[in-house]
Each structure stands twice: as structure tokens, then as C-alpha cells.
């Protein structure tokens, strides 16, 4: 499909694509500080989402299940908002995302004591 689409592009279309990729119409990058704030907050919301996922895995059927599910839904919404911001401002997510994904779940699953 991609190869077919590339073959369909002639040199005029390619320069149009290049213009769109590098023109000032592209969303402006945030300042370094804003970039860092969005990245850190996104990581926090991702972690909260994964912690509640872990808690639900071990406590979801218990007396706290409904409360945890309610709190998890709130964190999912926070995460969704930061997913929008991270994409909208083209912020690089933390390099710790894969580890945080697993570690957050493990932290939540281990919090049943
Ligand atoms: Fe949150």
C-alpha cells in the first residue's frame, strides 16, 4: 500500500508533501520547560493508570473493587488528556515508558497487603 502510494506521487506531489512537513503551518513546539512538564505529567498519569490496573487485577472482585474501578476511570481520563497533549505538542514520552508500564502494574498488584 505504501509502495503503491509512493509510486503514485510524482515529483510535484513530493515537494508539496515536503512543504507541509517543514512549513511553519506545523504545530509549534513548546518551550523546553513545557516539554518537560508535559512529559513528566504524562508519565505520572500513565503510572497511575497502570497502578490501578494492577490493583484491579488483584482486588477488583473484592470489597474495594468498585472504588478502585471508579478511581481507575478518573486516571484513565487524565492519561487520555495527556496523550492528547503529548501528541498535540509533539512531546517525546519518557524513555522509561515500557518499564513504567510494567513497574506500575506490579506496584499496584503488590499493594494488596
Ligand atoms: Fe491523575
Percentage helix, strand, coil, to 5, in the chain? 75, 0, 25
Q: Is 40 a member of any domain?
A: yes
The tally of domains found in the chain comes to: 1
Which residues make up the environment of ion ligand 1, defined by Cβ < 5 Å?
45, 48, 75, 78
- SS3 at position 97: helix
Confirm whether pTM is higher than 0.85: no
Q: Is 7 a member of any domain?
A: no
What would the pLDDT profile of 1-46 be if each residue is shown by its tens digit? 333 333 333 333 333 333 334 445 566 778 999 999 999 999 999 9
Q: Is 80 a member of any domain?
A: yes
Q: Is 22 a member of any domain?
A: no
Q: Is 17 a member of any domain?
A: no
What would the pLDDT profile of 73-111 be if each residue is shown by its tens digit? 999 999 999 999 999 999 999 999 999 999 999 999 998
Ligand 1 centroid – CA 74 distance (Å): 7
The boundaries of the domain holding residue 96 are: 32-110
- Looking at residue 25, its pLDDT comes to 59
Q: Is 64 a member of any domain?
A: yes
C-alpha cell at 56: 484491579
Ligand 1 centroid – CA 23 distance (Å): 35
Ligand 1 centroid – CA 60 distance (Å): 19
C-alpha cell at 58: 488483584
Amino acid at each position: 500500500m505504501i509502495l503503491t502510494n509512493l509510486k503514485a506521487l510524482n515529483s510535484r506531489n513530493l515537494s508539496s508533501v515536503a512543504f507541509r512537513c517543514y512549513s511553519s503551518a506545523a504545530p509549534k513546539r513548546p518551550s523546553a520547560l513545557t516539554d518537560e512538564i508535559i512529559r513528566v505529567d504524562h508519565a505520572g498519569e500513565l503510572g497511575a493508570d497502570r497502578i490501578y490496573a494492577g490493583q484491579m487485577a488483584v482486588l477488583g472482585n473484592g470489597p474495594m473493587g468498585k472504588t478502585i474501578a471508579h478511581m481507575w476511570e478518573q486516571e484513565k481520563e487524565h492519561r487520555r488528556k495527556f496523550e492528547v497533549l503529548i501528541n498535540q505538542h509533539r512531546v517525546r514520552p519518557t524513555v522509561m515508558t515500557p518499564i513504567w508500564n510494567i513497574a506500575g502494574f506490579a506496584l499496584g498488584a503488590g499493594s494488596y497487603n
